[in-house]
Amino acid sequence: MTIPCPYCGSHNTTQQFSSNRNISDFDLDAQLTPTALATLGAGLAKSQGVSPIYGGVAGAIVGGVCQYVVKKKHLTDLKTKMIGYCQQCNNSFPL
Ligand SMILES: [Zn+2]
């Protein structure tokens, strides 16, 4: 199924992902790894007089949830960034 080009009306169009990806999301990914948060949680628990194991486990869980949310957000972003591209007049257009 092709979508007609809004510029020239040609059906010679393709659908593709927009290359405009948010780079800051990748930074977030790198910082919110379960390992990093587990280390953070262990350190925090230690400073509060709690066993580092509990802090580490809590940090790993929080990190896992954060990564899940971030990844889900990425998928949503990708879906909304699908664009149409006309091979006839070389224009791209939102779908
Ligand atoms: Zn066109």
Q: Is residue 34 part of a domain?
A: yes
pLDDT of 21 reads 52
Q: Is residue 46 part of a domain?
A: yes
pLDDT of 23 reads 46
The domain containing residue 76 runs over which residues?
23-80
76 CA → ligand 1 middle, Å: 27
Q: Is residue 35 part of a domain?
A: yes
Token representation of residue 35: 């390992």
Distance (Å, rounded) from C-alpha 93 to C-alpha 15? Answer: 10
Task: Report helix, strand or coil for 1.
Answer: coil
Model confidence over 22-79: pLDDT tens digits? 545 555 555 667 788 788 878 888 888 878 888 888 888 888 887 788 777 766 665 5
The count of domains in the chain is 1
93 CA → ligand 1 middle, Å: 9
17 CA → ligand 1 middle, Å: 18
22 CA → ligand 1 middle, Å: 27
Residue 80 has pLDDT above 90, yes or no: no
Q: Is residue 41 part of a domain?
A: yes
Q: Is residue 11 part of a domain?
A: no
Distance (Å, rounded) from C-alpha 63 to C-alpha 13? Answer: 41
26 CA → ligand 1 middle, Å: 34
